[in-house]
């Protein structure tokens, strides 16, 4: 497994080694010893979520108040997504910094994001399915969102999907009404 820390401290990309032959493909998707060596802690698992989206569906940027925060280990089980991690930790020297990874059913990458980081996914193909392993059960009063199209964050969302067709973004009303980064209560001094 190849492991790479993203530009956002506290987030990593895990790319499994694929072993294929005429029968198909095998890969180790998680190995506790390698995960803990890279991340410095075990993967706490309290809830697993899955979501299927049409091409162009943009979910997020979502985050959970920290503390307690919610860490996530995320992969795409079918189709393709752009997975984005944003630093939303108050006082962090990288507050507002983002990085992205393409998650798909070919390379089978995973992304781990620590508590305090925001998360968004953009579906690049119809019927794309993303799965999240979460360190905290869903707690609505702790969950919040930031506008994924906020120019202050400046995420470079792709304009075309996996098939080369132009994407039309579709967001939930809640995500479309999300506040900008500068309007968050978590924004550190000087970044509002």
Binding residue numbers: 23, 28, 47-49, 59, 72, 119, 143, 166
Two tokens, residue 58: 């943009």
Give the count of alpha carbons within 13 A of 141, CB side only.
0
Catalytic residue, candidates 19, 132, 138, 144: 132
CB 136 within 8 A of CB 46: yes
Q: Is the peptide bond before 86 cis (omega within 30 degrees of 0)?
A: no
Distance of CA 160 to the CA centre of its chain: 19
Neighbours of 168 (CB within 10 A): 11
Verify whether residue 62 is a known catalytic residue. Answer: yes
Tell me whether residue 63 is one of the annotated catalytic residues.
Answer: no
151 is written with which tokens? 């120019």
Q: Quote the CA–CA distance of 47 and 192 in Å, as a whole number.
A: 33
Catalytic residue of the set 62, 63, 138, 144: 62
3-state SS assignment for residue 148: coil
Binding residue positions for substrate: 23, 28, 47-49, 59, 72, 119, 143, 166
List, in order, residues 6 or more apart from 120 with CB less than 8 Å away: 58, 59, 60, 61, 62, 83, 84, 86, 148, 155
Catalytic residues: 62, 132
């Amino acid at each position: 497994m190849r492991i790479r820390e993203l530009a956002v401290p506290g987030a990593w990309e895990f790319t499994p080694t694929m072993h294929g032959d005429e029968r198909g493909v095998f890969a180790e998707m998680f190995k506790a010893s390698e995960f803990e060596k890279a991340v410095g802690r075990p993967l706490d698992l309290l809830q697993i979520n899955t979501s299927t989206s049409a091409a162009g569906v943009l979910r997020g940027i979502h985050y959970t108040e920290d503390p307690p925060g919610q860490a996530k280990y995320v992969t795409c089980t079918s189709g393709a997504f752009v997975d984005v991690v944003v630093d939303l930790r108050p006082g962090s020297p990288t507050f507002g910094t983002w990085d992205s990874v393409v998650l798909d059913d070919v390379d089978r990458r995973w992304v781990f994001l620590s508590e305090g980081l925001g998360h968004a996914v953009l579906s690049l193909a119809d019927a794309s399915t993303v799965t999240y392993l979460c360190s905290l059960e869903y707690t609505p009063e702790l969950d919040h969102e930031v506008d994924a199209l906020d120019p202050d964050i400046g995420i470079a969302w792709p304009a075309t999907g996996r098939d080369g067709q132009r994407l039309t973004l579709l967001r939930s009303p809640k995500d479309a009404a999300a506040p900008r980064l500068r309007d968050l209560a978590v924004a550190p001094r000087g970044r509002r």
